[in-house]
Amino acid sequence: MLQFVIDLLIRASDIMLVAVGLSVVYSLVRFPNVAHVQYAMTGAFVTLGMTKAGMPFAAALSVSCIVTGCLAVALNVFVFRRLLRSGSSIAMVGSLAVSMILIAVVLGSAGSRPLRYTTALSTPLQLGSTMISVDQITSIACGFGCVALLALLLFKTGVGRSMRAMASNPALAAATGVDGARVLNGISFLSGALAALGGTMLGLTENVDVDLGTNLLLPVFAAAILGGLGNPLGAAAGALLIALAETLATNIDFGWMLGRSGVYVPVSYVGAASFVILLAALLLRPYGLFDREVRRV
Condensed to tens digits (0 to 9), the pLDDT of residues 246-297 reads 888 777 766 667 677 776 767 667 777 777 877 887 787 777 776 654 444 4
Between 57 and 170, residue with greater pLDDT:
57
Condensed to tens digits (0 to 9), the pLDDT of residues 44-101 reads 999 999 999 999 999 999 999 999 999 999 999 999 999 999 999 999 999 999 999 9
How far is 169 from 12, CA to CA, in rounded Å? 32
**Alpha carbon 128 to chain centroid distance?**
31
How far is 16 from 220, CA to CA, in rounded Å? 8
Evaluate whether 229 touches 23 at the Cβ level (below 8 Å): yes
Condensed to tens digits (0 to 9), the pLDDT of residues 230-246 reads 888 999 999 998 998 88
**Phi-psi domain of 262 (left: phi exceeds 0; alpha: psi -120 through 50; beta: other):** left
Evaluate whether 34 touches 213 at the Cβ level (below 8 Å): no
The rounded percent of the chain whose pLDDT value lies above 90 is 52
Q: What is the pLDDT of residue 247?
A: 85
Residue ranges and CATH numbers for the domains of the chain are 2-111+128-296 (1.10.3470)
Q: What is the pLDDT of residue 35?
A: 96
Q: What is the pLDDT of residue 297?
A: 41
Cα dihedral 251, 234, 193, 137, rounded to 10, equals -40
The count of other CB atoms within 10 Å of the CB of residue 155 is 11
Beta strands of 65-192 (E only): which ranges? Answer: 125-127, 130-132
Q: What is the pLDDT of residue 294?
A: 44
How far is 163 from 146, CA to CA, in rounded Å? 18
Condensed to tens digits (0 to 9), the pLDDT of residues 142-159 reads 999 999 999 999 889 888
Between 131 and 186, residue with greater pLDDT:
186
Name 140's Cβ contacts closer than 8 Å, sequence gap at least 6: 9, 10, 13
Mean pLDDT of the chain: 87
Helix (H) or strand (E) holding 226: helix 212-227
265-to-1, 124, 251, 255, 271 alpha-carbon distances in Å: 18, 27, 8, 10, 11
pLDDT value at 217 more than 50: yes
Q: What is the pLDDT of residue 291?
A: 60
Core vs surface per residue 26-63: b (16+ CB within 10 A) or e: bbbbebbbbbbbbbbbbbbbbbbbbbeeeeebeebbbb
